[in-house]
Amino acid sequence: MEPAIHLYNAYSGLHAMEQIALLNFFRQNAPETDNVAIQEALDCALKNKPSFGGFVLTHTLQGKIVAALVVNKTGMQCFKSENLLVLATLHQEYANHPELLETLIDKAIHQSDGDISFYAKSRNPALMMAKRMGFNEQYVELKFKPVAAATKVRV
């Protein structure tokens, strides 16, 4: 089989077997990402739940997923980017071939209407790749989690 890039969105959908393969791919190759978050990103991109939509891109070699990403539309245009690159993962066996993931990110940039951004921890090796591709830092995000604040003891 030839290398192939596949696009999935609300119009094309994702067959049950393809969705299981994609979920397993993300679970195995992005173990730090919560399984519920993976499912939610896919559901939003494919509009399986109320959302602005988005899309999924996979890069396959010999029928095996070697890289995949999920982009969700945000519904915003001014303050935040119109698109959020939620997940971008390379198969562990192909860690020495970041160009496979770069190809998908480049396709995602061209597929997206408007700006595209992503969040990464400060020590994530993907930051260097993103900067090389033209992404630049604009904001520092601070997140407040009400559950965590409720457990703090106040004096």
What DSSP assignment string belongs to 50-75?
A: SS--EEEEEEEETTEEEEEEEEEE-S
Cα distance between residue 98 and residue 100, in whole Å: 5
Q: What is the pLDDT of residue 85?
A: 93
Q: What is the pLDDT of residue 88?
A: 92
Where does 6-115 have alpha helices with state H?
A: 16-29, 35-45, 99-111
Q: What is the pLDDT of residue 137?
A: 78
pTM: 0.85
Burial of 46 (0-12, 13-18, 19+ CB in 10 A): buried
Q: What is the pLDDT of residue 127?
A: 73
Q: What is the pLDDT of residue 25?
A: 97
Six token digits for residue 30: 């992005």
Q: What is the pLDDT of residue 150?
A: 54
- Enumerate residues 6+ apart whose C-beta is below 8 A from 91: 25, 29, 64, 65, 66, 67
How many other CB atoms sit within 10 Å of the CB of residue 104? 23
Q: Mind listing the pLDDT tens digit of every residue in the chain (155 residues)?
A: 578 999 999 999 999 999 999 999 999 999 888 999 999 999 999 999 999 999 999 999 998 999 999 999 999 988 788 999 999 999 999 999 999 999 999 999 999 988 998 877 777 767 777 888 888 877 777 777 786 555 655 55
Burial 126-142 (b: 16+ CB within 10 A, else e): beebbeeeebeeeeeee
Q: Which residues pair with 68 in a beta bridge?
A: 58, 89
Domains of the chain by range and CATH?
A: 4-150 (3.40.630.30)
Q: What is the pLDDT of residue 151?
A: 61
